[in-house]
Structure 1
Amino acid sequence: MDVQVLRCFVAVADGVTVTQAAAEARLTQPALSRALRRLEQEVGAQLFQQVGRVLRLTPAGRAFRDHADAALQRLDRGLRALQETVSPESGLIPLAFLHSLGTWLLPPLITGFRERFPLSRFELRQGSEAVLVESLLGGTADLLLTAGDPGHPLITWERLLTEPLWLAVPPGHRLARRRRARLAEVAEEPFILLRHEQGLRSVTEALCRAVGFTPRAGFEGDEVATLRGLVGAGLGVALVPRPHSAAPARGPSYLQVTDVEAARDIGIARLTSRTLPPNSERFLGHVRQHAVSVAAQEHSAAEES
């Protein structure tokens, strides 16, 4: 059974057109169509049916697709292990990360690691926490940088850092000129929140409940940057990490919360039962060292202030 054809089958099963799959495989469209028909003959069942101009999976195709994808993932892991045995310095590190960590935590991690191991390569995925957990469980990521423990029985998570959360209020807000505020002071105002599948949403709701109210959603977004922008536009308030780069001149004001400890844990996750490939294990050690260094810097800055 041809591995390239199996990859094309999975791609078409996932919605890629035959023309696109053929181009990516450097085949002509007729050649790939013939190869898919030969695959059907090999497995002894029709895998696709034509619906208009689109190919749809048959029941047999749906049953075969998951097994084919799992086989390809195992093959890819085997090829990675082989490559890292032959050339351990140039191994691939599949890493998933939360959107909001891509602007401040991820860049120095990768830069520092590649200074030590310049031939290493990264395959990066970003998204919501639910999507990233699936990438870890599905084997398309070795490690996951996220906020909070996913709480999955197959996943081991370890805390790296604690990131403060600030009360963001619009320019001109009655609290905007202050440096600190109680969260309870905005109990009656609309909150700009992440969607329910995002970890920061549950953290925000828990902190609000701790001071005696349930936040009223004025808008639900997908990224922390969106929340900051909408607060800056005057649509509500939010609990968010403070920007790690220069904030826009007309952006929100950020106030320290005084009536509850407002923070979220940043950590790294991996599958409990899986032994990491050498380069991913090496990167995990690098992440731990970086976290210790950042914590020491924050402690020193706190003492000086």
Structure 2
Amino acid sequence: MDLQVLRSFRAVAEGTTVTDAAAEAHITQPALSRALNRLEDEVGAELLQRVGRVLRLTPAGRVFKEYVDAVLDSYDRGRRAVAEVVDPDAGLVSMAFLHTLGTWLVPRLVTGFRQTFPGVRFELSQDVEIGLAQHLLDATADLIITSKDPGHPLIVWRRLMVEPLWLAVPAGHRLAERRRVRLAEVADEPFIVLKPGHGLRGVTETLCRQAGFTPLVGFEGEEVETLRGLVAAGLGVSLVPASPDTATALPQPSADLPIRYLKVTDVQAVRDIGIAWLGSRTLPPAPQRFIDHAMSVTARMYETSAGRA
């Protein structure tokens, strides 16, 4: 059984036409059709059937594809591991992370790592909290950076930091001249929040419950910068994250974004940020080095912040 035939089978099963799959494999369309027929003969079942002008998986094909995915993913990881043994200063780090960490933490970690290991390549993707663990389980990422422990028995999670959350209010808000506030003081006001599935949405709802109320949702967005912009427009208040650079002092408003940030005192307004990987898998050298790098860098960030406090 040819691995290229398995790759072509997977491509067709995922919606690629036989013509395009043949072009990717650098063979003719009739040759690929014959190869797929031979594959069905070897397996002993019809794997693909024509529905209109496209091929669809049969029930047997759906079962077989799960094993094809596992075989190809294992083979690709094996080739990658051998390449990194041959050249340990090169390699690949495949990582998925929260949208909210793409503006500061992930760029900082990647930049610092590449200064030491310039030959390492990165494959990066963003996702919401509920989707990150699946990247590990599907073997589409070596690592994830997330705001909480996924709580899955196969996943190892290590805390990198505890990130402060500030209550953002418009510059003209009745509490804008304060530096501290009880979250309960805005129980009757609309909250600008991320959509369900985002980690920050869950943290916001939990903190509001701890303060004795259910947040009145005024708008659901997909990016933290959208939340800040709508708060500045006077549409509500929001709990937003702060980087370690602002962990010991209130972030300062700008002329372009007239927001005041208040420290919350009646609940612990923070969220965990951590890094995770599959415990059952031996990581290649590059991802393992990145874990060590991330742990070291974030520890130094907070040592510096504590020194300024």
Give the TM-score normalised by structure 1.
0.90
Matched, 1:183 2:190: no
Task: Determine if contact 2:157/2:277 at 8 Å carries over to the other structure.
Answer: yes
Cα gap change, 1:27/1:242 in structure 2, threshold over 3 Å: closer, same or farther? farther
- Which residue number in structure 1 is paired with residue 200 of structure 2? 200
The whole-number CA distance in structure 1 between the counterparts of 2:275 and 2:119 is 23
- Which residue number in structure 2 is paired with residue 111 of structure 1? 111
Cα gap change, 1:34/1:219 in structure 2, threshold over 3 Å: closer, same or farther? farther
CA RMSD of superposed structures (Å): 2.3
- Which residue number in structure 2 is paired with residue 101 of structure 1? 101
Task: Determine if contact 1:128/1:222 at 8 Å carries over to the other structure.
Answer: no
Map of 1:221-232 to 2, 5 A cutoff? 221-232=221-232
- Which residue number in structure 2 is paired with residue 273 of structure 1? 280
Cα gap change, 1:64/1:298 in structure 2, threshold over 3 Å: closer, same or farther? same
Q: For residue 205 of structure 1, report the CA deviation from its aligned partner.
A: 1.4
Question: 2:292 is matched by which residue type in structure 1?
Answer: G
Matched, 1:288 2:303: no
Q: How many residue pairs end up in the alignment?
A: 302
Larger displacement relative to structure 2 (41-50 or 182-191): 41-50
Cα gap change, 1:42/1:242 in structure 2, threshold over 3 Å: closer, same or farther? same
Q: For residue 27 of structure 1, report the CA deviation from its aligned partner.
A: 4.6
Cα gap change, 1:230/1:212 in structure 2, threshold over 3 Å: closer, same or farther? same
State the identity %. 62
User: Mind listing any 5+ residue stretches in structure 2 that lack a counterpart?
Assistant: 246-250
- Which residue number in structure 1 is paired with residue 266 of structure 2? 259
Cα gap change, 1:238/1:30 in structure 2, threshold over 3 Å: closer, same or farther? farther
Map of 1:16-95 to 2, 5 A cutoff? 16-95=16-95
Cα gap change, 1:12/1:235 in structure 2, threshold over 3 Å: closer, same or farther? farther
Q: For residue 200 of structure 1, report the CA deviation from its aligned partner.
A: 1.7
Q: Secondary structure at the match of 2:49?
A: strand
Q: For residue 111 of structure 1, report the CA deviation from its aligned partner.
A: 1.3
Question: 1:200 is matched by which residue type in structure 2?
Answer: L
The whole-number CA distance in structure 1 between the counterparts of 2:133 and 2:145 is 10
The whole-number CA distance in structure 2 between the counterparts of 1:21 and 1:177 is 63
Give the TM-score normalised by structure 2.
0.88
Question: 1:225 is matched by which residue type in structure 2?
Answer: E
The whole-number CA distance in structure 1 between the counterparts of 2:94 and 2:52 is 38
Cα gap change, 1:19/1:132 in structure 2, threshold over 3 Å: closer, same or farther? farther
The whole-number CA distance in structure 2 between the counterparts of 1:211 and 1:135 is 34
The whole-number CA distance in structure 1 between the counterparts of 2:128 and 2:160 is 19
Question: 1:280 is matched by which residue type in structure 2?
Answer: P
Q: For residue 171 of structure 1, report the CA deviation from its aligned partner.
A: 4.5
Q: For residue 230 of structure 1, report the CA deviation from its aligned partner.
A: 3.1
The whole-number CA distance in structure 1 between the counterparts of 2:151 and 2:80 is 28
- Which residue number in structure 2 is paired with residue 14 of structure 1? 14
Question: 1:170 is matched by which residue type in structure 2?
Answer: P
User: Mind listing any 5+ residue stretches in structure 1 that lack a counterpart?
Assistant: none
Q: Deviations over 1:195-246 (max 9, x none)?
A: 3322222211121111111112223333323333333343322111147799
Task: Determine if contact 2:229/2:257 at 8 Å carries over to the other structure.
Answer: no
Map of 1:130-145 to 2, 5 A cutoff? 130-145=130-145
